[in-house]
Amino acid sequence: MKKLMYAFALTSLIGFASCDSPAEERAEDREEAVEEMEDEAEERADDMEDMAEEMEDTTAVIE
């Protein structure tokens, strides 16, 4: 009987350990969202730099 109880306890612990935590999933989702926001911010900054360079090029042509 003790061996049977140990087997069930061990199986339960292994099953419990293999489950993903909802908090862990939320943390991963947040990390992905932050990475996406950082990528978008970098793209916007690059676009703004390109626009600034184009403005400088245009003023040189007008003068």
- The tokens for 58 are 């245009």
Residues 7-39 as b/e (b if ≥16 CB within 10 A, e otherwise) read eeeeeeeeeeeeeeeeeeeeeeeeeeeeeeeee
d(CA 56, CA 51): 9
Per residue in 7-58, pLDDT (tens digit) is: 889 888 888 777 767 777 888 899 999 999 999 999 999 999 988 888 776 6
* The model scores a pTM over 0.85: no
- Residue 21 token pair: 């935590």
